[in-house]
Copies of this chain bind each other. A is one copy, B any other.
Amino acid sequence: MNALRLFIRNGRQIRPNIRPMSAQAGPLVDLSVDDEGIATLTMQRPPVNSLNLELVQEIDKALDEAAKNKSKGVILTSSSKSVFSAGLDIMEMYKPDRKRVELFWTSLQGLWLKLFGSKFVTAAAINGHAPAGGCLLAMSCEYRVMVNGKFTTGLNETALGIVAPRWFMDTMCNTISRRQAEVALTTGKMFTVEEALKVGLIDETATDKADSIEKCKEFIERFDTIPPLARALTKQKIRGDALAWLQKNRQADLEEFLTFVTNPKVQQSLEIYLEILKQKSAKK
């Protein structure tokens, strides 16, 4: 417990050397603000923006900075040409260190509470695949523009033998109809760009990344004449039930995740899945 506290206190740069660091250089996110005060938060953890503890923490910190700078809006996007974010990093769940995986999950909870309930306007420029946690991040924003292409998005957790937590489901039900969400969640459906647009999982399509950023900016500019406090409180109120659920159930939700992730069958599934990924990687 002390070790955990120490770990938290010393912040995200200290990483228990349980596993080798993935090869990467430079910061995990980039935050740039344009003349209008619209921030672009770019995830840049190659190759696929897998959400590990550090990336989650860096996105969280960038959102704080955007809030501090009174950005009128934040656009979430990716530096990759084909992936917005591949979702939660399976390495955080495979043979996990107890303290790290606890911190990972509570950090993810915290990030979602911050993003889903942010006072500033949020939009996702989905410039590539966005499965699972990637889809969650996009759905937590207030607007979604997806680049046309052979990209897909959806909460496909069941396909990996995982049960999406309640707040993932609430986020999806905030975006598409309950009926569509049930079918999507149980079948682990990945929507093509066209399908996502039809069902309302995205709001617009774009020709390329620049176009998607531009359309996100247009959405954010819709609020130029809206008093910001009223806007923020209105957003938080209509999203209030979902936010309140996780705020009240963070511990239970963490325990559910820990029970799940320490289940031998789940570990076995993850092992098989990792093996498949390795083979795919080797073929390339």
A-to-B contact residues, CB < 8 Å? 142, 157-164, 166, 169, 173-179, 181-183, 185-188, 200, 222-223, 225-227, 229-231, 233-235, 237-240, 265, 269
Is there an interface contact between A161 and B227, defined as CB atoms closer than 8 Å? Answer: yes
CB of A161, distance to nearest CB on chain B (Å): 4
Q: Closest approach, in angstroms, between the C-beta of A174 and any C-beta of chain B?
A: 6
A182 to B229, CA, bound (A): 16
B187 touches A226 (CB 8 A): yes
The residue that A237 contacts in the complex, of B169, B176, B230, B233, with Cβ under 8 A, is B169
Which B residues lie within 8 Å of A159 (CB)? Answer: 225-227
CA distance A162 to B40 in the complex (A): 28
18 further A-B contacts with Cβ under 8 Å, apart from A161-B230, A164-B237, are A142-B186, A157-B234, A158-B227, A158-B231, A160-B230, A163-B230, A163-B233, A163-B234, A169-B237, A169-B238, A173-B178, A174-B179, A178-B238, A182-B238, A185-B238, A186-B231, A186-B235, A187-B223
Return the chain B residue nearest A187 by Cβ.
B222
